[in-house]
Amino acid sequence: MEELRDAQVPGAELDRVWQGYDQRFADHQRQIDEVKQAQRSVYSQRLKENQQRLERKIATLAATDGSSGERRIAAVKCGTLLYAVLAFALRKREIYSRL
């Protein structure tokens, strides 16, 4: 009987340990949330910059000399690239939002 009493951990001690675990879990979740938020804002800014750059390129191609067929093909290629970049970005954002 005495061995059992000696082996028991007081309830207050367990509560203190569990509170420490809870605090660590909360800290880890906060860090994860901060990283996700930072990633979202940086990635969104890069996406906007790339979109603007591609739109400028499309406008430049549409305004350049050359046959209308060549301009149209170049603009379609840039538009397709813009669409691919946007689709990739949305997919990547979806993946990160699940983390």
- In this prediction, residue 26 carries a pLDDT of 92
- In this prediction, residue 48 carries a pLDDT of 79
- In this prediction, residue 68 carries a pLDDT of 61
- In this prediction, residue 70 carries a pLDDT of 63
For 66-84, give one letter per residue: b (16+ CB within 10 A) or e.
Answer: eeeeebeebbeebeeebee
What is the Cβ-side half-sphere exposure of residue 65, based on CA atoms within 13 angstroms? 0
pLDDT in tens, the chain (99 residues): 677 666 676 777 878 888 999 999 999 999 988 888 877 776 677 777 877 887 787 777 667 655 566 666 666 666 676 777 777 776 766 655 655
For 14-46, give one letter per residue: b (16+ CB within 10 A) or e.
Answer: eeeeeeeeeeeeeeeeeeeeeeeeeeeeeeeee
Cα distance between residue 86 and residue 50, in whole Å: 9
In the 8-state DSSP scheme, what is residue 67? -
